[in-house]
A = this chain, B = another copy of it.
């Protein structure tokens, strides 16, 4: 296995392949075959995320995967932003369709035509829906498994509110959901930025995005939530009658937690030179049971015991697997470490005789001996300990990736180190775009935005690029 530290990019590719997460040999460029090890993890990630969304009132829907071109043309910024990436369906059988159809790159233009029908009065609001689905984007940038592809798996929420205030409150709520699930459950640290005006979602007033970092120090965008104002409700003539009896446009937002990309962060942040490390809750195999078979010993009894233990765990809803293959114990350990089984239970003849199990944690490598009863009673604690350890390790690393720069030279240096660099910037409105462009052109750095989770205002600092009085502290990074 490659060294994650020395060559992250190759390490990542190797883990994706060797741990059988995805196969890149499908014969359509930018499209992956997702193998059971990634699907089992993502299914679990989906269900945790969906639960969190449902808990705060979102309901699931399934919209068609195709959207008529006419829908796209209704919101001018949106069509300009997405059309270059749309994959088009043009024929059904041998007939040419009357109108070409987009494979959804995102579903605003599908949802809002139905909102037009569903929303009439205050009683219909707020309307909070989500959809777990695939989307398709004809990316021209290089694709990487789970990071960027022409087909990916995400959740999109589409929420409509009577007032701007409620819409803004939901943006905050979305940030909290990101914290609760992505950070606390999956162990992915992030900063919530408000994107500069030149880097918004096409058709949004404002875009807020959770940026995490990859181990190579480059920023990766995780969920974003977009304040759409009345752009889309106007474009699709969605109106409701307010308390004064006036027909007015409601406010809307959308939020896009991409489970597929979160898996990339899980792989990258927690993995090590032995392979994958999963939080217990999302591990495809949570517990690997390895009977240590030896020539000449009574292996049958050992195997029977291991299988019985496996069944007990399965009955408790644990994803357990008993490894009765004819490999050596060492190569079985290697195999389950590579695949990120959260716990490994080793049972040899000695353990069987003594009524003890050796439990090895994948995240720390620590081993301990427990009786079966103790082990079964400790599962919840393991789950908690593993989660807390992965979160705090990732957080500690993340906290060390924060830099400051006041000049272009300093910024150049710190961008080279990776992570986020805080710089004074003249503005994050369109007037600041020139400075961001210069940072991009000269230093390959991207201005990711200003913090959305706390107030930071310069007091007299000068813009890192133009030297004018800085209105904002912005964060720059190299990015995926």
Contact = CB atoms under 8 A, between A and B. Distances in A.
9 contacts: A23-B118, A25-B114, A25-B117, A26-B114, A33-B63, A34-B62, A64-B151, A66-B151, A87-B91
Q: In the complex, which range does the number of interface residues on chain A fall in?
A: 35 or more
Contacts of A352: none
Given A33-B114, A61-B33, A71 B153 contact: no
Interface stretch (A78-86, A302-310, A425-433): A78-86
Contacts of A91: 87-88, 90, 100
What is the total number of copies of this protein in its complex?
A: 2
A103 interface: yes
A27 B68 contact: yes
Nearest to A23: B114
Contacts of A35: 61
B93 A85 contact: yes
Interface of A is mostly: mixed
A154 interface: no
Interface string A36-70: 10011011000000000000000111111111101
Given A28-B68, A66-B28, A39 B61 contact: yes
A28 B61 contact: no
Interface of A: 23, 25-28, 31-36, 39-40, 42-43, 59-68, 70-71, 83-95, 100-101, 103, 110, 113-114, 117-118, 129, 134, 136, 138, 140, 150-151, 153
A419 B66 CA distance: 37
A222 to B, nearest CB: 20
A88 B90 CA distance: 6
A140 B67 CA distance: 20
A150 B66 CA distance: 11
A393 B453 CA distance: 57
Contact of A89 (B40, B85, B87): B87
A64 B28 contact: yes
Contacts of A26: 63-64, 110, 113-114
Given A71-B27, A92-B87, A65 B64 contact: no
A40 B60 CA distance: 7
A89 B88 contact: yes
Given A61-B36, A90-B91, A31 B114 contact: no
Contacts of A60: 36, 39-40, 43
Interface centre among A32, A71, A114, A129 (most CB of B within 10 A): A114
